């Protein structure tokens, strides 16, 4: 499916060019705008971004595949990111991780058939002082226990 920025988003993209001396440098923020509009970075998105920024599709693809926060597939409505790095691990993150996997029936990297959840085991999110944590899309939920983690998932409809 062809991808075009909405008029509003296209204005945002053009405005970003003021921030950098080259168009290419805007690739990361432009990809974020595209991802917000499209849900994920598809081949069509890459094509359109490369045209607008006057760089090759390979350059865009290289950026998309290097950074973990650009989705190459459609994530769930709620993208669950469970941190299991050391500070969280020491405070029970693996119990939470196992419980969330069982509860959602998903493995790392999977999306549920109804598109409600996608699950990702993530590296340190900077919540070490409020560990353990789950990020749901952009929001951090901190100081969790296994019980409150499961309640959190229940609350997501």
Contact 133, 127 (CB under 8 A): yes
Q: Where are the alpha helices (DSSP H) in the chain?
A: 7-16, 27-38, 43-53, 57-66, 86-89, 93-104, 146-154
Site for another protein in 105-124 (CB under 8 A): 122-124
Tell me which of 50, 128, 148, 156 binds another protein, using CB under 8 A.
128
- Interaction between residue 54 and another protein (CB under 8 A): no
User: Which pair of tokens denotes residue 24?
Assistant: 């290419």
User: Which pair of tokens denotes residue 40?
Assistant: 């994920």
Tell me which of 42, 104, 111, 127 binds another protein, using CB under 8 A.
127
- Interaction between residue 43 and another protein (CB under 8 A): no
The residue count for binding another protein (CB under 8 A) is 43
Based on the number of CB atoms within 10 Å of its own CB, is 139 exposed (0-12), middle (13-18) or buried (19 or more)? exposed
Tell me which of 29, 50, 136, 150 binds another protein, using CB under 8 A.
29
Residues interacting with another protein, by CB under 8 A? 19-22, 24-29, 31-32, 53, 55, 59, 62-63, 66-70, 84-87, 89-91, 122-131, 135, 138-140
């Amino acid at each position: 499916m062809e991808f075009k920025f909405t008029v509003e988003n296209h204005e945002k993209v053009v405005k970003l060019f003021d921030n950098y001396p080259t168009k290419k440098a805007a690739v990361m923020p432009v990809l974020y705008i595209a991802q917000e509009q499209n849900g994920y970075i598809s081949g069509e998105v890459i094509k359109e971004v490369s045209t607008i920024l006057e760089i090759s599709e390979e350059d865009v693809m290289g950026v998309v595949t290097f950074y973990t926060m650009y989705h190459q597939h459609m994530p769930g409505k709620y993208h669950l990111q469970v941190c299991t790095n050391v500070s969280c691990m020491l405070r029970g993150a693996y119990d939470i991780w196992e419980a969330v996997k069982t509860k959602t029936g998903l493995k790392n990297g999977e999306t549920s058939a109804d598109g409600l959840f996608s699950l990702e085991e993530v590296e340190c999110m900077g919540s070490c002082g409020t560990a353990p944590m789950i990020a749901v899309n952009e929001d951090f939920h901190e100081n969790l226990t296994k019980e409150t983690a499961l309640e959190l998932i229940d609350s997501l409809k």
